[in-house]
């Protein structure tokens, strides 16, 4: 019988669904993704998206079925503004948002682009206001109140985005969002960990504190400076946060933003949270963003890595051969088809075993080979890999095997 942890497509841990684990989890009925690849993702040093690049990525995000796209910040450049307008014009399906400072002029630019909503940023910790912005504290509040109210009057959905709130003095931060909520306007509040410094154990505490002050929906915007973005985002969702800010491949400022592909897959397979997206598009989307951004993807990157389903170990090769396609989730926690990745492939190297050699002999239709010859080929494959510090290519294996078999025949 299919269980939430074991389906035709994935096999995770049954412990994830134990009542003792799930009793304190309050995932909202509908969780949505707000993609920020085109804005925050482009803030990664060296990443430049042209207008056409942004349109192509937006089209692929729409194919994935992402719920909202933050198409850019109109004030950055005429090219960004033109890209936002064109993405809006194409009516791709997702809601299109712009990003703005808490300034009326920025809001006017967003309105001119025709977007559905606007994410409005303001510094929210006393120290960053004083040291990085050199502002009086009241200035941030006044700007936020006036500009968010104006955005609302223009018919925009307003997400208030307090920068560096995770390092703010808690009462100051709570007073800020309370005043903006009552004197200005916010349709939702982004819980922002600008520098990726929240620990997972702090998430529920922060959400609880915010809920005691305001009742608007919450959105999670977390960074990866300590690698906590995915865990923090999921814990935020478990505490009732409804919207996830993420980027494809986790690109973004410094160590980047919460990666879309890892987060959506964890929610689907470990929390039975179906966001309604077409997950088979994930690898194609990641490869497009890699191509257009120049971002480096490690071969073993979760979900979309090029060699994620490559097997070198002799032991794991035996598992693959024994399980076959039907039971392959005994070897991999989810099927490659689920995310549009490449199928399982046995590769040859220093870690290969007897079954690895037999797999390749069968693959190349090299006929029946005796056990002693298989062992001889294996020794030479290992030696070649060690000397060259890499995997073998097809022709290199064929040459080794041919030499061994020729010698045996002689």
Mean pLDDT of 29-54: 96
Asked if residue 388 and residue 331 are part of one domain, the reply reads yes
Question: What is residue 358's predicted lDDT score, i.e. its pLDDT?
Answer: 94
Q: In degrees rounded to 5, what are phi and psi of residue 200?
A: -55, -35
Classify residue 8: in a domain, yes or no: no
Asked if residue 148 and residue 286 are part of one domain, the reply reads yes
At 299, is the secondary structure helix, strand, or coil?
A: coil
Question: What is residue 410's predicted lDDT score, i.e. its pLDDT?
Answer: 42
Classify residue 250: in a domain, yes or no: yes
Question: What is residue 1's predicted lDDT score, i.e. its pLDDT?
Answer: 52
Classify residue 255: in a domain, yes or no: yes
Angle, to 10 degrees, between the axis of helix 170-183 and the axis of helix 200-211? 40
* CATH code, domain with 199: 3.20.20.70
Asked if residue 153 and residue 226 are part of one domain, the reply reads yes
Asked if residue 342 and residue 233 are part of one domain, the reply reads no
Provide the domain count of the chain: 2
Q: In degrees rounded to 5, what are phi and psi of residue 172?
A: -60, -45
What is the residue range of 165's domain? Answer: 14-293
Asked whether 152 and 185 are in contact (CB, 8 A), the reply is: yes
Asked if residue 334 and residue 279 are part of one domain, the reply reads no
Dist. CA 104–CA 79, nearest whole Å: 21
Q: Name the DSSP letter for residue 342.
A: P
Supply 381's token pair.
């494959």
Q: If pLDDT is split at 50, 70 and 90, which confidence band does 134 have?
A: confident
Task: Please report the beta strands in 24-85, taking only residues with DSSP state E, as ranges in sequence order.
Answer: 32-35, 68-70
Classify residue 282: in a domain, yes or no: yes
Asked if residue 338 and residue 225 are part of one domain, the reply reads no
Classify residue 66: in a domain, yes or no: yes
- What is the tens place of the pLDDT at every residue in 145-179? 999 999 999 999 999 999 999 999 999 999 999 99
Classify residue 333: in a domain, yes or no: yes
Q: What is the dihedral of CA 88, 89, 93, 98, to 10 degrees?
A: 0
Asked if residue 24 and residue 98 are part of one domain, the reply reads yes
Classify residue 2: in a domain, yes or no: no
Asked if residue 115 and residue 230 are part of one domain, the reply reads yes
What is the model's pTM?
A: 0.93
* Residue where one domain finishes, among candidates 293, 318, 350: 293
Asked whether 120 and 147 are in contact (CB, 8 A), the reply is: yes
Asked if residue 381 and residue 266 are part of one domain, the reply reads no
**H or E segment and range at residue 202:** helix 200-211
Asked if residue 381 and residue 279 are part of one domain, the reply reads no
Asked if residue 273 and residue 331 are part of one domain, the reply reads no
HSE of 209, CA atoms in CB hemisphere, 13 A: 16
Asked if residue 150 and residue 230 are part of one domain, the reply reads yes
Q: If pLDDT is split at 50, 70 and 90, which confidence band does 130 have?
A: confident
Supply 272's token pair.
């039975």
* Residue where one domain finishes, among candidates 293, 327, 347: 293
Residues, the chain: 410
Classify residue 334: in a domain, yes or no: yes
* Residue where one domain finishes, among candidates 293, 327, 346: 293
- Residue 4 pLDDT more than 70? yes
Q: If pLDDT is split at 50, 70 and 90, which confidence band does 139 have?
A: confident
């Amino acid at each position: 019988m299919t269980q939430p942890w074991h389906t035709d497509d994935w096999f995770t841990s049954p412990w994830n669904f134990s009542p003792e684990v799930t009793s304190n989890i309050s995932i909202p009925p509908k969780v949505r993704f707000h993609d920020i690849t085109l804005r925050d993702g482009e803030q990664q040093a060296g990443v430049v998206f042209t207008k056409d690049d942004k349109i192509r990525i937006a089209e692929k995000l729409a194919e994935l079925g992402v719920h909202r796209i933050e198409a850019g910040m109109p004030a950055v450049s005429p090219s960004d503004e033109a890209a936002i307008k064109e993405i809006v014009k194409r009516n791709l399906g997702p809601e299109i948002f712009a990003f703005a400072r808490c300034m009326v002029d920025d809001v006017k630019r967003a309105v001119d682009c025709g977007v559905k909503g606007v994410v409005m940023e303001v510094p929210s910790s006393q120290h960053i206001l004083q040291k990085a912005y050199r502002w009086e504290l009241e200035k941030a509040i006044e700007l936020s109140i006036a500009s968010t109210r104006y955005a609302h009057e223009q018919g925009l959905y307003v997400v208030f985005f307090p920068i560096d709130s995770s390092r703010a003095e808690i009462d100051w931060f709570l007073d800020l969002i309370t005043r903006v909520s009552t004197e200005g306007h916010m349709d939702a509040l982004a819980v922002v960990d600008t520098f990726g410094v929240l620990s997972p154990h702090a998430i529920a505490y922060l959400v609880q504190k915010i809920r005691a002050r305001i009742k608007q929906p919450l959105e999670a915007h977390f960074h990866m400076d300590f690698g906590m973005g995915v865990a923090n985002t999921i814990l935020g969702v478990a505490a009732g946060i409804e919207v996830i800010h993420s980027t494809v491949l986790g690109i973004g400022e410094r160590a980047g933003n919460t990666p879309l592909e890892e987060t959506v897959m964890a929610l689907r397979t470990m929390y039975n949270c179906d966001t309604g997206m077409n997950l088979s598009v994930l690898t194609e989307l990641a490869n497009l963003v890699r191509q257009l951004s120049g971002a480096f993807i490690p071969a073993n990157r979760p979900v979309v890595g090029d060699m994620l389903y490559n097997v070198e170990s002799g032991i794991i090769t035996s598992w693959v051969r024994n399980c076959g396609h039907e039971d392959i989730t005994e070897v991999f926690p989810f099927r490659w088809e689920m995310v549009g990745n490449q199928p399982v492939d046995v590769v040859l190297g220093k870690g290969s075993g007897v079954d690895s050699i037999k797999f390749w002999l069968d693959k190349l239709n090299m006929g029946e080979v005796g056990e002693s010859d298989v062992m001889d080929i294996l020794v030479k494959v290992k030696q070649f890999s060690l000397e060259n510090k890499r995997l073998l290519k097809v022709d290199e294996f064929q040459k080794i095997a041919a030499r061994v078999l020729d010698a045996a025949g002689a």
